[in-house]
Structure 1
């Protein structure tokens, strides 16, 4: 029987960090995304589809112990790895919630965040290598929007096929997508350009990694 993307994602949870090619390839995208945001000590960041918490070290360096990281993921196994990462580092400012970003009710999740000691809405919302795992990803984007405050900064990092001199990376890209069940053809970063203002575009690894950041327009719900 063919595994669904959710089943693949969960099955690889204990080995995800080792198999994800983070250091040679995908960490570059995380660094560019976090570096493109105006983050300050004390900020609260929503990490939608946080997985094992690979974003957490970069975010902790920017928001400090007075800030908060809210990680949401549909996989209990991935969240278990994220929790271990936070515990090892002594990060007590991480809130982890299990929810499916495509079906959750934003108001209910916001209440859960507040109950856990955070702000109901975050000033920064991120989706890194996660929207391409979700179907329909547009619903997850809408929930990211609803769980962030007015004029929040939003960032999306995801994958497309490498091109140019990086064309030989296509087999690696296919393996990475197979591991998590991602759809490399959906290009979810386009939502940032469509819905946000002050959009910044960046890329890495021959265009394989696409980074978009922007700001929610004032007055738009």
Structure 2
């Protein structure tokens, strides 16, 4: 998967089906997460920075976006996006959320100009790409402060009238390296309080966000 994203990083925005399908999930995810002015938000698996504009509208110039991705090439595209928009409050960190130790990662974020603990975290279409997404979830929640919020946007088979599109959705996810059956939003439902639940594109996109509860585990 890593090599695939390395090769296609410059064309990712064009090939990902972002605006016909997946942008709707990002909008709903940011809305459900509800980041506020001046907060620091983690963008887990930020890719080329497609969440940045939506997050900037919420946190303003006094807030901070910490984009984390394991692909240097995807981060290069994210950096170009931030520079073009003059977003000086974007910090980019190359890290594998499955392998990285939380303490080391929080130290790297602080060294790059952020704070060790963040107010919120958002993972859009990224946890299902990770072999051990539960470990990535644990790492993410460890980086949040008291009353931190976390949101997950990911994919499953289309439902209802769109069920006939399931084979196409599965193929698209397989080509992108995602596990369409991973259902990582379950972690929000099982570990968080005040959970917001919504969906889009005939249930293909699942969105959950909630407040982290210390000590609650899956």
TM-score tier (shorter): over 0.9
Aligned to 2:199, which of 198, 203, 207?
203
Q: For residue 175 of structure 1, report the CA deviation from its aligned partner.
A: 4.3
**Partner SS for 1:124:** strand
Q: Contact conserved, 1:9 with 1:181, CA < 8 A, in 2?
A: no
d(CA) in 2 for partners of 1:159 and 1:137? 14
Q: Specify the SS of the correspondent of 1:62.
A: helix
Deviations 1:30-84 (A, max 9, x none): 0001111232210110011101100000001111111000000000010000000
How high is the TM-score relative to the length of structure 1?
0.94
Correspondence for 1:30: 26
Counterpart secondary structure, 1:85:
helix
Count of residues in correspondence between the two structures: 217
SS where residue 12 of structure 1 aligns? helix
User: What SS class does the counterpart of residue 57 from structure 2 fall into?
Assistant: helix
| Unaligned 5+ runs, structure 1 | none
Q: Deviation of residue 166 (structure 1)?
A: 2.0
Distance in 1 (CA, whole Å) between partners of 2:145 and 2:156 is 29
Q: Is the 8 A contact 1:12 1:179 kept in 2?
A: no
Coordinate RMSD, CA, aligned? 1.5
Structure 2, unaligned stretches of length 5 or more?
none
Of 107, 116, 120, the match for 2:103: 107
Q: For residue 170 of structure 1, what is the aligned residue in structure 2?
A: 166
The alignment status of 1:146 with 2:134, answered yes or no, reads no
Contact 1:6 1:181 (8 Å CA) reproduced: no
